[in-house]
Structure 1
């Protein structure tokens, strides 16, 4: 079996990796696919590695930061959502993503965080990344003004806010998208921004119940994300079936992760999302696309299609 199959089987069956010895390359593969922390919960050998111990330490600090951001935002009267961070499985993100609902509040929140030992690590379009170094690790906060790929907004933030829920984190209410919207954000981020699907994205789907996935399929039609969702659902089904040996005649080696999404699929999914947004916002999404910085994947796509 490939690393993908070993990792997926361990996570789905909730048991140790089916190998006598775990190679360092498998650890790196799981880390690259953002599932190393979850994997370690089912395998004591992985929990002893430096990489896993570092993730556990970072996770503890991330939880503290999420609570701090929520309390700070509430004290300032700023509406925020924590997105792409609290998954339906045990997940340690590269950074905490905070979506600011109030357009004029970005500077206020950033300045307040700068007074709490954070510093500006990177300024993007339209986001700011802050970092705090603490307890021999670091926490990154990505503060977003919109939910999108660079300046291109693929999901309206007010739509997300109106459908929000609150999750308990150490007895603190954390505003997040509901389960359906969180899945659609994950899908949109993978397909329309990163152009890459990780095993963490597959596990996100595998960790949801059937009703949530069915509702996401229905909802995706109304916001221009049905093609993105169908593509990843098909990939997830094949990955799970092959890893669990449901389809023995197929070879899991044909599915490698992180999975690079083919350009024709990206063009098709962007076309659907753009068509929906043009109906709702007029020419605004076209203007957003042409504001994309050259380093962004969306700019690469535009060059590919000759725009």
Structure 2
């Protein structure tokens, strides 16, 4: 991966995706292995507006681009806050952040982008695992401001490893902390069984937690954000054609090539990042044809609608797709 499109790249629908060089103005240890960074514009300019659930792309170097949730106050456009868990066996992004991004360091940031929006509801259940607490923090504040009924179940390896517990203390008993070394694995039954029909469940964390919540929670009620792509079933691959309406081209996608790679090989600039179907950067409008969805971003309703797809991993159920590219 070469880091995607450059400054001012055009996203789906023709909108411009903002890219800026920001400076780290505060760095603190939020928990064992978790560093919290506050970013500002070097000239003090306001940063783009965002809503709870949004993330930004940190462009850390050639081939090193990672997504991190914003966990500050959306009303404060003077700064953004992110929190990064150091993953010893990761792909290098978190290690770079922990080693290189100290106060005064500059970093290129693209976004924000949001595929995990907080929808209006009377009741919410929030479930966080580890660093999955980050996108939920501004959601809690928004739910509180809206007067909604809500609760948070927050698990982690240990109390010391769980970030932002001090900030959560102000919510009292609506927040249940469940460190694994004290209480074992999260007990999902009491909070998910008998959940009111009008409640929405927002969950972020490691794959096994999300899988467990998905097994017990109706799809219509559940919203998740994944750090890693969900495990895919084996697929029978076939060649198909992609018509690019804005570019005026037709591209053949071989069985062993992604739509993203085929389009880029044809010389069409496309914004992308993870190439795993988790970040939503390459979301593209579908004008005709039936996508074979293989991402970890879209809801079941969005998949059924078939009017958008993640071209880094998803393919075609037939022989032809018409895309808004």
Query: What's the TM-score, normalizing by structure 1?
Result: 0.26
Higher share of residues assigned strand: 2
Structure with more relative contact order (C-alpha pairs < 8 Å, separation 6 or more): 1
Query: What's the TM-score, normalizing by structure 2?
Result: 0.25
